[in-house]
Chains A and B, each alone.
Chain A
């Protein structure tokens, strides 16, 4: 399976600011995804990061709030914009090697918004 790293591992931010989270994979992958895990909750898919094109967002998530980039097959970023305390969550990226492949997850970024 791929080795996935995320930066930062955790951060504490002030409301109204933005934070960009990086996801780096040690090999080329077909699909990359971003999830949110709110405190005490399960994982919710935010969007699919598409290489070379705009991300595909799930219902309830919009590009203005969570802009995503994916410049190549090993790297993606998620920005949490104009943050509020409700954005305090763990943000995880995941990858698959292709259709029918298992999703593997990064270690997550723990975000606290004050």
Chain B
């Protein structure tokens, strides 16, 4: 069965430090991959997505993610975290093949940023 795993439930970093949030997926084919962010009391905002092509994708707010097929991973990175980045981050996969309907979400990683 398809699944998405975010191994880290909660991560704490200092402002200005680098960040990497992990995402592993289990899927039969090459899926579509997404990272969303949810600030407290807010809906989900798309950070970036991977459909095909260059495996290093750039997103909004200085985030990037790298698709590694051999590791079934799509980790999210940011070189220098800002206090406003504190939020819940969700990795999601879609079935690919021009189908983005059936998204499967990971359980999320809560990021806390200390000044």
Identify B101's interface contact among A42, A43, A48, A108, CB under 8 A.
Answer: A48
Contact between B90 and A43 (Cβ–Cβ < 8 Å)?
A: yes
Contact between A101 and B100 (Cβ–Cβ < 8 Å)?
A: yes
Interface residue B67 (Cβ < 8 Å from any Cβ of A): no
> Could you mark each residue 88-114 of chain A with 1 if its beta carbon is under 8 Å from any beta carbon of chain B, else 0?
000010101001111111111010000
User: What secondary structure prevails in chain A residues at the interface with B?
Assistant: strand
Q: A92, A100, A104, A108 — which one has the most chain B CB atoms within 10 A of its CB?
A: A100
In the assembled complex, the CB of B30 is this many whole angstroms from the nearest CB of chain A, namely 14
Contact between A45 and B107 (Cβ–Cβ < 8 Å)?
A: no
In the assembled complex, the CB of A34 is this many whole angstroms from the nearest CB of chain B, namely 13
Contacts of A75 in B (CB 8 A): none
Interface size range of chain B in the complex: 20 to 34
Number of residue pairs A-B, CB distance < 8 angstroms: 51
Assembled-state Cα–Cα distance A6/B102 (Å): 21
Assembled-state Cα–Cα distance A31/B100 (Å): 10
Contacts of A6 in B (CB 8 A): 43
Interface residue A33 (Cβ < 8 Å from any Cβ of B): yes
Interface residue A53 (Cβ < 8 Å from any Cβ of B): no
Contacts of B46 in A (CB 8 A): 1, 102-104
Contact between B100 and A102 (Cβ–Cβ < 8 Å)?
A: yes
Q: Interface of B with A (CB < 8 Å)?
A: 34, 36, 41-46, 49, 51, 90, 98-103, 105-108
